[in-house]
Amino acid sequence: MAKPNLALVGATGAVGTVMIDIINNRENIWGEIRLIASARSAGKKLVVHGQELTVVELTAEAFDGIDIAMFDVPDEVSVIWAPIAAARGAVAVDNSGAFRMDPEVPLVVPEVNPEQAQNRPKGIISNPNCTTLTMMAALGALHRGWTLTELVVSSYQAVSGAGVSGITRLREEIEALAGTSAGESSEDVLKTLESKGLSLDASPFAAPVAMNLIPFAGSLKEGGFSSEEMKVRDESRKILGIPELKVAVTCVRVPVLISHSLTVHATFANPLTVADVHKALEEEPTVSLLDDPANGLWPTPTLVAGLDPTFVGRVRQSLDFPNSIEMFVVGDNLRKGAALNTYEIAELVASEF
């Protein structure tokens, strides 16, 4: 059988860089691998599976001969170029939010709904938001066994969710505040940052993120909700196939470079115990259970950064809510939350060749 040809659009971006690392560390199932980016990045040299490849400019012709094209680019780029790739014969696997809620575009998590990868009338498959993905492998396993009915989530999102600019900003703020007494009184963190040339006008965040929390992530939507909160609600319903799932979400930006963390309160139609949850999650190959609070064993963002699995700890049976479980879930938002799941979808499609 001929190996399918793969394209990576956005090869030089933050997620694209992680994607290349994932490609290099997994079995090479591809024929040609083509790296695509904007005109300003075209010509750069990157090594994939030991071969030096030259990044080519994003054009319609760049998709000629490509079977699967992975997109790690902003919404406004994907909405134009993913249909062009599909029209030229490639299956477009898109990591942006451009097509996630399109009823003719499947939203796929391979551990949860792999069959949907074949249901692609537009030739496009969408990858979920990184916050949704952080908990989805674990929730999918529990939903199969006990039927999820209600979901309450609070997220603690790393600054890398805002891209390279988010990482840069946090590092700059940490450096500016180091050795000062800022943080002991109202607004002294902001004043210290401004005195060192770090005004909020140049920040991707609406408030200082170092030594702080920002109770908002994304853009403002109707009713005071953020776009991140609406994504978690709508995408969870679509992935799990529960259109009437009751969901409440609050998204918080925290001073962490990489890895999103979530507190999850999940209610099910059928009774379940902590032992049931442990057994179900231990059987999931992409979930790692770290749940021994007596010995200080639970997942944290710095422990998880750079790793592929979804990590789960602090599993508790709710004291006051029947058929409900509390747990703490952490995942690298640049890997499983973005690049890895996109790549795993591409692997699903490649198995068809």
pLDDT 10s digits, 246-273 = 999 999 999 999 999 999 999 999 999 9
Catalytic position from the list 49, 260, 265, 278: 260
Q: In the sheet where 148-157 sits, what is the strand order?
A: 246-253, 148-157, 260-268, 324-331, 310-317, 287-289
What is the average pLDDT across 212-228? 96
Q: In the sheet where 56-57 sits, what is the strand order?
A: 56-57, 33-37, 6-9, 68-71, 91-94, 124-126
Q: What pLDDT band is residue 299 in, cutting at 50, 70 and 90?
A: very high
What is the average pLDDT across 90-119? 97
Question: Residue 316 burial by CB count (10 A; 0-12/13-18/19+): exposed, middle or buried?
Answer: middle
| Side chain identity, residue 183 | G
Q: Which helix (DSSP H) or strand (DSSP E) does residue 227 occupy? A: helix 227-240
pLDDT 10s digits, 30-79 = 999 999 999 999 999 999 999 999 999 999 999 999 999 999 999 999 99
Kindly tell me if the per-residue pLDDT of 331 is higher than 90: yes
Task: Look over the chain and give the mean of its residue pLDDT values, rounded to a whole number.
Answer: 96
Q: What pLDDT band is residue 1 in, cutting at 50, 70 and 90?
A: low
Active site residue 130: yes
Kindly tell me if the per-residue pLDDT of 216 is higher than 80: yes
Beta bridge partners of 288: 311
Kindly tell me if the per-residue pLDDT of 320 is higher than 70: yes
Question: Residue 1 burial by CB count (10 A; 0-12/13-18/19+): exposed, middle or buried?
Answer: exposed
Distances (CA, A) of 3 to 67, 109, 233, 340: 9, 23, 37, 20
Q: What pLDDT band is residue 174 in, cutting at 50, 70 and 90?
A: very high
Catalytic position from the list 130, 143, 251, 265: 130
The model's pTM is: 0.94
Q: Kind of pairing, strands 51-54 and 45-48? A: antiparallel
